[in-house]
Structure 1
């Protein structure tokens, strides 16, 4: 059911989804990041990349919108450099949320990176997620996930076809 006084604010529902995702991320279970050496070993082994997925932290989430939700959200936080008068409402945006420490962090990402991270959350093997995603910078996407401590484990091939919550993950 629509709320008539807000009918002219087309992006309001997407901002509400973003705010809800921020709260879910804030209250998600704490986790430890995967050791960088294990990730490097995986990336060096093409065959392993084809059969191994990445387990992302519960706080890691992607929100996509046909509106500039990250810009609108930041503009309402009272922090520069966002200025509401400069926001183009016809531009879509994707946001990556994470909580590497105690605070939730939002990162504007391109649509390809959003698709890649979403596929990882759907337990795609790393290679399949990378190869079936629209053009994006794989190195930058992995760098973001590592910096945000969002990769918490590996999903082996025998587990990829089952639901994420049923997996045993290796740290």
Structure 2
């Protein structure tokens, strides 16, 4: 006599959200918030020897990208790209300038425009920072494909927030 084994699978996040839309474990905001804090904590010991914080690292990533493309960044462009307001970005730039990693200079054509350029020291830090992404991938234990999926989903959230006007910047830039 054959017996049938009934398989019950664990409920998915979508199932939990449908069953109880207020369940903490189902909340995208909770997953993103806790995940972001955890990820930034993984960066901390990698960035400390470089003498920079995670927000400063993000600024430098944008400036290294500009430098490679041969174009100077501006404070306005950086604020848009980093989804930061000027009040948050200015102290970051001031500390990076004090550390000798960048310079800020008002445009001769338009005094409202402030150009941000890497110094030689800021440029040279890029080689050391190149070790950070693979170390983060290793620390998370996630595959490149899994990290890419997370990036894609998180980028959609950022784009939705930009469209809703709750964070600055125009359309997200291609990676």
Quick check: TM above 0.5? no
**Larger Rg, first or second structure (1 or 2):** 2
Instruction: Please give the TM-score of this superposition, normalised by the length of structure 2.
Output: 0.27
Instruction: Please give the TM-score of this superposition, normalised by the length of structure 1.
Output: 0.27
Instruction: Give the structure with the higher percent strand.
Output: 1
Instruction: Give the structure with the higher percent helix.
Output: 2
Structure scoring higher RCO (CA < 8 A, sep ≥ 6) equals: 1
